[in-house]
Amino acid sequence: MPPSPCQRPVTQSAPQPTAQSGWPEGAREQAVALQRSLSIGDRDWHALKRQRPRRAAEQISAALVQLLSGDDPTALAPTAAREQAIALLEHSLAWLKAELSDPGCPSHRR
């Protein structure tokens, strides 16, 4: 007896990795677009700098860009890009765990 529609596993065709990078085609560009939309610019800095989830999201998206831009997913040994991505992810966790606080604007600390 075939499985009922509710029991069938859902499968989606994932984009195939490109021969050059090993990452799915367009993944890097999508990550860059996400990172640009999440980065806190000069105009929004004072309003958003204390929002820990925003700061963490900014770091997480930067880690993804770093990984997709410079890492070879088939490499067994850690790459420089992978190490940088790990550092950014650890930094984002510190924001989420409230282990980091915004030091304030350098121009206001005189």
pLDDT: is 4 or 88 the higher one?
A: 88
Residue 74 is assigned to a structural domain of this protein:
yes
Residue 55 is assigned to a structural domain of this protein:
yes
**Residue-level pLDDT at 20:** 58
Residue 110 is assigned to a structural domain of this protein:
no
The total of structural domains in the chain comes to 1
Residue 85 is assigned to a structural domain of this protein:
yes
Q: What is the pLDDT of residues 9-22, one digit of tens each?
A: 433 344 445 545 68
Residue 14 is assigned to a structural domain of this protein:
no
Q: HEC states along the chain? A: CCCCCCCCCCCCCCCCECCCCCCECCHHHHHHHHHHHHCCCCCCHHHHCCCHHHHHHHHHHHHHHHHHHHCCCCCCCCCHHHHHHHHHHHHHHHHHCCCCCCCCCHHHCC
Residue 88 is assigned to a structural domain of this protein:
yes
Residue 48 is assigned to a structural domain of this protein:
yes
Residues of the domain holding 33: 27-100
Q: What is the pLDDT of residues 74-95, one digit of tens each?
A: 989 999 999 999 999 999 999 9
- What is the model's pTM? 0.75
Q: How large is the average pLDDT for residues 52-73?
A: 94
